Chains A and B, each alone.
Chain A
Amino acid sequence: GQNIDQPTEMTATEGAIVQINCTYQTSGFNGLFWYQQHAGEAPTFLSYNVLDGLEEKGRFSSFLSRSKGYSYLLLKELQMKDSASYLCAVMDSNYQLIWGAGTKLIIKP
């Protein structure tokens, strides 16, 4: 079966760095996405990785290793507004998005 694993919850301190991991097992691979979702709101797109390596976009970076079925989202210089759930999603061979359960990130002052 298809499976996306990510931690349920993480806590970090304002100004620090946090890494949210995502491992996946899917039938085929056409890219991995990270979305941010604040409570009561719809998800917003953060990043897309289809090749191995690190993609940097401001304070957020996303890494992919296809051979390991592994990705992480790295958030630097954490701000209180970064408190949200972070969803990992993989596009399988049928171009269907398989969603992880999300990681709730709590930022403390």
Chain B
Amino acid sequence: GAVVSQHPSWVICKSGTSVKIECRSLDFQATTMFWYRQFPKQSLMLMATSNEGSKATYEQGVEKDKFLINHASLTLSTLTVTSAHPEDSSFYICSAREGLADSGKLFFGSGTQLSVL
């Protein structure tokens, strides 16, 4: 199956710093990637849909100036958490679709556990 690589796997940072998370599709081209966050014992919450070559589409309640998404190529999307604060501590997961837009089968990255001190 298709492989999505995400790194770093975990990061600890000081409050006020910015953190960049990368998501790469290794063996397929992903015109669309998705960014989720997940709090302990809760389900995935879609933050934004990242489209190659265009601006990301953010879900309601997600601050686009705080969570910067860049999808510069068909295989790479990045999420930058700017001026991180302790409440941003969470598990962030990216995913990508292989194939047509109506294919719901997603391949997930391994996730990034962010801890903001």
Say whether B72 faces chain A, with CB atoms less than 8 Å apart: no
Is the contact region of chain B dominated by helix, strand, or loop, or is it mixed?
Answer: loop
A/B interface sample: 30 pairs, CB < 8 A: A30-B104, A31-B104, A33-B105, A40-B111, A41-B111, A42-B6, A42-B95, A42-B108, A42-B111, A43-B44, A43-B93, A43-B108, A45-B107, A48-B105, A87-B43, A89-B104, A91-B102, A95-B101, A96-B46, A97-B46, A97-B106, A99-B43, A99-B44, A99-B45, A99-B46, A100-B43, A101-B42, A102-B42, A102-B43, A104-B41
A residues apposed to B, CB below 8 Å:
30-31, 33, 40-45, 48, 87, 89, 91, 95-97, 99-102, 104
Q: Give me 17 other A-B pairs in contact (C-beta within 8 A), A31-B104, A33-B105 excluded.
A: A33-B104, A40-B113, A41-B110, A41-B111, A42-B6, A42-B95, A42-B108, A42-B110, A42-B111, A45-B105, A48-B104, A91-B104, A95-B102, A95-B104, A99-B46, A101-B42, A102-B43
B residues apposed to A, CB below 8 Å:
1, 6, 41-46, 91, 93, 95, 101-102, 104-111, 113
